[in-house]
Structure 1
C-alpha cells in the first residue's frame, strides 16, 4: 500500500495504513491540533498516581494534552482534576508542582477557589451586580476515575467507563503493580526532560524491542554477564500483544511476568540486598521483595500517554508537533525496606536517569527520527515488522514475536479510529 501525500488532504485518518503511516504525522501542526481535540480531549488520559496526592489538601499539577490541570484531594478525601486557569482572566492558579494547600488563589486579581474548584472568594465583590453568580465560575472540572492507584481524567463527560477503556490491559496493570513486593506502590521521585520530536515517536518506542541491542549496546556492556544475558531477549520466548483500544504489551522476560511466581532464585547482583533483609523478613518475603526490586519483565503501553515500563511510569506530554516533554516516575515500596527502595532508585538511575545508559540514547534517536523526516517527506514511516507473521493472542487480537511492531500497529489503529470520528 502506498500513501500518496496530497497538499490539501486533511482527512487525517487516511494518513495511517495497515503497515505504514505518512511522514507528516510527525510534523504537521494542523494534525497536532486535531489530535489534541479528537484524542486527548475525548478519551481517558493518565494524569498521576494516588501516592502523589496522598492526603486531604494534597495537590499535583499535570497535563491533559496541552491543557494544564491540577489534581487535588479535597477535605473529604475526594479526588478532583481541574483546569489550571482562573475563570476571570485566565491566569494559572497554581504554579507549584506538588504540595498541600487549603485553596487555590489567582495571583492577578485574587479570586480564590476551594480544593474542589468551586469559587469561594472574589475581592471587592461589590464591583459586580446582583446577577453575578459565583456557582457559575468554578474552575473547569474534568471527569476523573482511578484504576489500581492510577488516576485518569477526561474532558469528555460521555467517555466510556475507565475499566472498559483499559479492557485487556487491566490484567497487565495488576501484574505491573505487584512490584510493590507486598507493599503498596508509590512514586519515589521523578525527573523530566524534553526532546525536539513528535509525541508518537516516543509512544512507538515503549513496545519496540527491535532497537534494544543497537541503541542500548552501551547499557548492555555496562552489565554483569548474568544480567546481560537476561536483557538479551531478541530471539527468545517474548512477544508483543495488541490489547485493544491502542494499548499493547511487550514481554521481554516471560519468567518475570508475575512477580509472585515461584521457581526464582536470587541473582548474585541482589545477594547483598537479600542478606540485609534477612532477620527482619522470612525467606519467602525476602525473595518477593528482591524479585520486585528488579521490576517486571514487560513494558505496558496505555494509549495515549503513559507506559508502565519495567519499574517506572513514563508519561508523555505533547507540547507541539515537534516537541514532547517526558516524565519518568521512579516507583518504590510504600513502607517497604529502605535498602530495597534505594536499590530500585540506583537501578532506575542506571538506565532511565539523566546520566543513565538508556533514556539519553533513546532521546537522541527520537530527535534524529524527527530530523530525518524533513528529508523526502513523500516516503512512508514503516511499522511492518512482523506483519503477516502474527497469530491470535489470548484475547483474539494479534500477537507477534518480541521484535514485532505489533504494538505500534495497535496504537495507530486506535489513532485512526479516533481521528475518524
Structure 2
C-alpha cells in the first residue's frame, strides 16, 4: 500500500511556519520538513564534530555524524585535522565502525581498499584488473571542509560555506570564556555517554537556553545537592541572569553571573564546603590563589552556550545532538576535565557530571522524559502552535543582540530565526 505524500512545501509555506512568538507544530512532526532540514541546514552549514583533545596524537581518530552522513575525524602524520566521509570509494562500504582509536589508516573490510589518515587511496588488492581504468590519486576519500576555534572542530559538506569565524560571530567571546574553566589547564574530554529520545531534534535545541524549565524539571536534582549548589543555581529572580541572542541561531543563557568570567574574582565568594577535601589536597602543591582558581571552576562556566545547529557548551560538558528521524534524536554528553590537573580535580568533576547527566543521574532522565512528552503532545491538536513568546515584552535590543531574562525564550526565537533563514533563504 502506498503512503500518500503531502504536496511539496514552498519557501512561502515554510516561512509562514515561524512567527515572532510561535512556531507551527509541524516543525516537530512533518517528515518532509525533516528532509529539507538535512539538505538546507545540516548539509550547508558548519556542524560540530569533535574536540581537539579527542585526537591529540598522530593517528588518533573518532567517528561522528554530520547530519545523516557518517564521518571520520582524524589527526594525520603532519598534525593536520581531516574530516572524511566514512565511505569507501569503491562500493560504498563504511570503513570504520568504532567510536575512537588510533590507526595508521583505514582499510575497507569488503575489498581491502586502503586509505591514509588524510584520505588518500594507498592500496588496491590485485590491481591488474584496474590497468588503464583507475588512478589512485583520483579516488581519495571525500573530504569535508574543516576548521576549528578554541579546540572546537567543525566540518561542513558545503565547501562554499561562510568562514567559521563569521558563522560563530559574537559566540567566539563566549567560547573563550567557557574555556577558562580550565583554570590555566587545557580543557579535555574525559568521557561520554549517549542515548536517544523519541522526539524531534529542535526540542532539544530549545532546551539548552531554556532557564524556565530548570527549577521545575530538575527539582529532584535540586533537592539532592547541597544547599550552596542549590542556591548558586537559583537564578529565577536574579536580574543579572540573562539570555543573549548572538546571531546565526546561537544564544547564551547566564545562570551564575559571578562565574561568567572565571578569571575575575573579588575574593568575597566562599568556596563550597563540599570541596574541602580538594582544597586540602591541592594546598599541598599550589598556592592559595591557584587552589581558589581551580575550585571556583569545579562546576564549569556560569552559562550555557548554544551553537546552532548541533552543539551546546553547557556549564561543564558538551551536549551534541544528531537528528535520526523527524521523531528521534541521538544525544551525546561529553564530560570535561582539565588536561594535566591533579587527578582529584578531574575525578570530582566526573562525579558532578554523573550526578546530573550520567545514565544514573537526575538531569538526563528528567530532560528526556520532558522531551518525549513534547513529541507525544505534538500529535494532539495538530493546528495548535508551539509558543515561544515568554519575555517578548521585556526583551531589549543591544549592540550585541537581543537580551532578556534567563527564563525567557530569547534563545529559541534566535534559533528559529536562523532555521527560517536557512530553510527559505529569507532573513
Q: The TM-score by the shorter chain falls in which range?
A: over 0.9
Give the alignment's TM-score, normalised by structure 1: 0.97
1:241 and 1:393 in contact (8 A); partners too: no
Match of 1:189, SS state, is strand
Match of 2:16, SS?
A: helix
Distance in 2 separating the partners of 1:304 and 1:136? 33
Equivalenced residues, count: 415
1:350 aligns with 2:344: no
Aligned equivalent of 1:366: 371
Deviation at 1:126, TM superposition (A): 1.1
The alignment status of 1:255 with 2:290, answered yes or no, reads no
Retained in 2: the 8 A contact 1:26–1:370? yes
Is the 1:235–1:402 contact (alpha carbons within 8 Å) kept by the matching residues of 2? no
Cα shift at 1:9: 4.4
Question: Any unmatched runs of 5+ in structure 1?
Answer: 1-5
Give the match's secondary structure for 1:313. Answer: strand
The residue number in structure 2 matching 1:17 is 19
Offset of residue 252 of structure 1? 0.8
Equivalent residue, structure 1, for 2:3: none
**Structure-2 separation of matches of 1:320 and 1:393:** 37
Deviations 1:18-64 (A, max 9, x none): 11111111111111111011011111110000010010011100010
Distance in 1, matches of 2:93 and 2:25, equals: 37
TM-superposed deviation, 1:230: 1.2
Aligned-pair distance for 1:292?
1.3
SS of aligned partner of 1:211: helix
Shift of 1:296: 1.1
- What does residue 102 of structure 1 align with? 104
Over aligned residue pairs, what C-alpha RMSD do you find?
1.1
Per-residue CA deviations over 1:305-335 (Å, capped at 9, x if unaligned) read 0000010000001111011000000000000
Cα drift, residue 129 of structure 1: 3.4
Shift of 1:15: 1.4
Q: Match for residue 274 of structure 2?
A: 269
1:238 aligns with 2:241: yes
Q: SS in structure 2 opposite 1:358? A: helix
Counterparts of 2:7 and 2:109 in 1: how far apart (Å)?
45
Residue of structure 2 equivalent to 1:417: 421
1:7 offset after TM fit, Å? Answer: 6.5
Describe how 1:191-206 pairs up with structure 2 within 5 A.
191-206=193-208
Alignment of 1:106-255 (within 5 A): 106-236=108-238, 237-255=240-258
The residue matched to 1:210 in structure 2 has which SS? helix
1:382 correspondence with 2:384: no
Unaligned runs of 5+ in 2: 1-5
- CA distance in structure 2 between the aligned counterparts of 1:165 and 1:364, rounded to whole angstroms: 32
Match in the other structure for 1:3: none
Question: Structure 2: how far apart are the matches of 1:18 and 1:124?
Answer: 62
Deviations 1:335-369 (A, max 9, x none): 00100100000000011111111121000000010
Shift in Å, 1:14: 2.4
| Aligned position for 1:312 | 317
1:285–1:295 distance in 2 versus 1, CA, 3 Å:
same
Secondary structure at 2:212 match in 1: coil
Determine the C-alpha separation between the residues in 2 that align with 1:378 and 1:8.
Answer: 19
SS in 1 for 2:199: coil
Partners of 2:7 and 2:231 in 1: CA distance: 49
Distance 1:129 1:224 in 2: 71
